[in-house]
């Protein structure tokens, strides 16, 4: 090939790689042109390595090295921008990689199994084709190594990118000098150094220390729970029910809804107390928030979660089971059996297969909360029994992307009629995971979903006839960007509801950080979610 033509092709491929490496992702802010105009130190460094390897080895294997390095840098960039947007924290590969199965389930669960297989095969084919294109591209780029003009341009561009990236590390200069794109490779190396230097990969000693501290608190309490007088205890986790948006930009609507629900509870003989709790997770990781609340132990990531399940923890369900309670775990969105529930002390489970739902399919968990809770009330709670019950319920409808809001059926019992939900959603939004970040209606859709979930939870609670103590709380803040004080970034509301006046008085006398009624003090501070078990033991384990 003519040297000038090979040089032109190498430059063209380099520009194409630059666009691929720097083009804004759907959840990233910024203009298309300004993003791709920023030099990528990762790409330029990879290209220089490929040229050097090609000249040294004279083998085609060097192109595979380039493809793998390019893919790793690009994927790291995807997750390094996605995790802060949706989870409100920095990307930590060592712990966040354990969330990949959940991410795959999140993207595929709404499709039939056969279609999921087709999509996976199609994705594999696309991956193979893209890999081949990149391999051909890196061979062409390596061929440009024979051109002094091409090599000199890449070297100068790489030096400039590294220099400007270093200058941009100064916060004061970052907004004025936006020439280089952030380096994923440098970030990955920095993270790896921090992990090994701090030995944060060793979660065992940390978990053991936390378990010992929690067990010491439990040992000092009377876990016969005679002060509960055989009252039922229920914990209803509302997906994404957080403080941020509800307590700020939509406070008036939220407060109006809470007052209406408080009146409904009063009619049914219930009183309530409301405060703020602070789980360690934000934007996602519901199971981590559940375990933190139940165990009284901070759970900040999946590795701590797994280590806790393998340790001698004594969570609330296990304590109540030992005190003579029947313990039930209800997770309508769980597509398979979860043996780990037995570790937490649950006697029985009700997962997706336990609910014969046949209506309109919703974005997460298939069924609406009203259907699931109506069956729980009829088939589990209201059945004749000889033991008091502890029940955990994990809600469905409040899960992102909040695209479908179910209708509320009146009277409540209609939810169990055949074909009751063979009707369209009450509200729909054209929100998908691809346009979720920055969607103009995301806040409105979120508030609609929260008002629905909260209304259904309170309607369910108001129908309880046995003496009951019910905790209705969020699991984590929603995966939505909003402005709030830094100390409130993780806060979720917690409503403690009971039809036993003595229980409410005990909460007041023991100094629970709650206000009377369903409306919280919007300026009040939160307490860690891991401290709720300790307070429960203080009030009811004596």
Average pLDDT over residues 328-334: 93
* For the chain, percent of residues with pLDDT exceeding 90: 50
Residue pair 395/457 in contact (Cβ under 8 Å)? The answer is: yes
Report the distance separating Cα 39 and Cα 179, nearest Å: 6
Instruction: List the single range of 50-59, 174-183, 274-283, 420-429 with lowest mean pLDDT.
Output: 174-183
How many CA atoms lie within 13 Å of 381's alpha carbon, on the beta-carbon side? 27
Residue pair 34/155 in contact (Cβ under 8 Å)? The answer is: no
CA distances from 367 to 415, 445, 540 (A): 11, 18, 35
Residue pair 457/472 in contact (Cβ under 8 Å)? The answer is: yes
Report the distance separating Cα 299 and Cα 307, nearest Å: 10
User: Quick one: how far is CA 267 from the chain centroid?
Assistant: 36
3-state DSSP of 385-414: CCCCEEEEEECCCCCCCCCEECCCCCCHHH
Tokens at 354, concatenated = 């336990």
Q: What confidence category does residue 479 fall into, taking pLDDT thresholds of 50, 70 and 90?
A: confident
**DSSP label at residue 526:** P
Report the distance separating Cα 484 and Cα 245, nearest Å: 9
Q: Map tokens 């469905």 to a residue.
A: 396
Instruction: List the single range of 65-69, 140-144, 212-216, 521-525 with lowest mean pLDDT.
Output: 140-144
Tens digit of each residue's pLDDT (9 = 90 or more) over 251-287: 889 999 999 999 999 999 999 999 999 999 988 889 9
Domain residue ranges of the chain, discontinuous segments joined by + = 3-198, 229-540
Residue pair 420/414 in contact (Cβ under 8 Å)? The answer is: yes
Q: In the prediction, which pLDDT does 113 show?
A: 77
**DSSP label at residue 525:** P
Greater confidence, 514 or 101?
514
Strands 389-394 and 232-238, by their bridges, are parallel
3-state DSSP of 253-308: HHHHHHHHHHHHHHHCCCEEEEEEEECCCCCCCHHHHHHHHHHCCCCCCHHHHHHH
Tens digit of each residue's pLDDT (9 = 90 or more) over 386-437: 999 999 999 999 988 899 999 999 999 899 998 899 999 999 999 887 788 7
CATH topology of domain 229-540: Alkaline Phosphatase, subunit A (3.40.720)
On the question of pLDDT at 43 being above 80, the answer is yes
Q: In the prediction, which pLDDT does 196 show?
A: 82
User: 0.75 cut: is pTM over it?
Assistant: yes
Torsion, Cα of 541, 382, 497, 387 (10° steps): 0
Report the distance separating Cα 459 and Cα 84, nearest Å: 35
Report the distance separating Cα 290 and Cα 529, nearest Å: 9
Q: In the prediction, which pLDDT does 169 show?
A: 64
3-state DSSP of 296-354: CCCCCCHHHHHHHHCCCCCCHHHHHHHCCCEEEEECCCCCCCCCCHHHHCCCEEECHHH
Report which of 483, 364, 468, 506 is spatially closest to residue 425, judged by C-alpha positions.
364
Report the distance separating Cα 266 and Cα 264, nearest Å: 5
Report the distance separating Cα 410 and Cα 215, nearest Å: 46
Backbone torsions φ then ψ of 71, nearest 5 degrees: -65, -40
Average pLDDT over residues 523-529: 93
Q: In the prediction, which pLDDT does 507 show?
A: 95
Tens digit of each residue's pLDDT (9 = 90 or more) over 448-476: 999 999 999 999 999 999 999 999 999 99
Report the distance separating Cα 187 and Cα 41, nearest Å: 12
Report the distance separating Cα 365 and Cα 423, nearest Å: 17
Tokens at 386, concatenated = 């000889």
Mean pLDDT over each residue of the chain, to the nearest integer: 87
């Amino acid at each position: 090939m003519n040297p000038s033509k090979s040089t032109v092709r190498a430059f063209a491929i380099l520009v194409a790689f630059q666009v691929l490496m720097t083009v804004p992702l759907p959840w990233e802010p910024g203009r298309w042109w300004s993003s791709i105009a920023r030099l990528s130190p990762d790409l330029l460094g990879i290209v220089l390595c490929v040229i050097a390897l090609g000249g040294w080895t004279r083998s085609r294997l060097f192109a595979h090295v380039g493809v793998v390095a390019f893919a790793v840098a690009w994927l790291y960039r995807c997750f390094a921008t996605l995790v802060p947007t949706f989870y409100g924290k920095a990307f930590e590969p060592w712990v966040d990689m354990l969330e990949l199965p959940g991410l795959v389930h999140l993207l595929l669960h709404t499709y039939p199994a056969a279609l999921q297989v087709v999509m996976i095969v199609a994705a594999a084919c696309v991956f193979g084709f893209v890999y081949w294109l990149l391999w051909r591209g890196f061979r062409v780029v390596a061929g440009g190594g024979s051109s002094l003009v091409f090599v000199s341009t890449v070297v100068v561009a790489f030096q400039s990118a590294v220099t400007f990236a270093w200058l941009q590390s100064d916060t004061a200069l970052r907004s004025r000098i936006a020439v280089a794109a952030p380096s994923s490779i440098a970030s990955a190396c920095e993270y790896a150094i921090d992990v090994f230097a701090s030995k944060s990969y060793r979660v065992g000693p940390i978990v053991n220390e936390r378990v010992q501290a929690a067990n010491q608190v439990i040992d000092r309490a009377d876990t016969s729970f005679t002060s509960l007088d055989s009252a039922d205890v229920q914990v209803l986790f509302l997906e994404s029910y957080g403080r941020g948006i509800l307590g700020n930009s939509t406070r008036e609507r939220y407060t109006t809804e809470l007052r209406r629900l408080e009146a409904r509870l009063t009619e049914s003989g219930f009183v309530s107390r409301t405060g703020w709790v602070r789980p360690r997770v934000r934007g996602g990781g519901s199971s981590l928030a559940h375990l933190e609340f139940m165990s009284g132990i901070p759970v900040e990531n999946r590795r701590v979660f797994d280590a806790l399940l393998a340790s001698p923890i004594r969570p609330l369900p296990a304590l109540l089971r030992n005190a003579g309670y029947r313990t039930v775990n209800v997770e309508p969105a769980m597509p398979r059996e979860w043996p780990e529930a037995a570790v937490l002390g649950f006697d029985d489970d009700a997962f997706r297969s336990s609910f014969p739902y046949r209506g309109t399919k919703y974005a997460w968990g298939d069924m609406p909360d009203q259907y699931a809770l109506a069956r729980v009330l009829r088939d589990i709670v209201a059945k004749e029994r000889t033991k008091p019950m502890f029940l955990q319920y994990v809600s469905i409808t409040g899960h992102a992307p909040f695209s479908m809001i179910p209708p509320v059926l009146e009277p409540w019992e209609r939810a169990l009629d055949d074909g009751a939900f063979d009707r369209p959603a009450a509200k729909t939004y054209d929100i998908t995971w691809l346009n979720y970040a920055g969607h103009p209606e995301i806040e409105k859709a979120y508030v609609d979903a929260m008002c629905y979930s909260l209304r259904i939870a309170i309607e369910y609670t108001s129908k309880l006839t046995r003496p009951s103590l019910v905790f209705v709380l969020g699991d984590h803040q929603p995966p939505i960007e909003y402005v709030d004080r830094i100390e409130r970034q993780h806060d979720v509301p917690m409503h403690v509801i009971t039809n036993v006046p003595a229980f409410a008085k005990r909460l007041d006398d023991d100094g629970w950080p709650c206000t009377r009624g369903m409306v919280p003090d919007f300026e009040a501070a939160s307490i860690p979610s891991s401290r709720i078990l300790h307070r429960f033991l203080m009030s009811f384990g004596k």
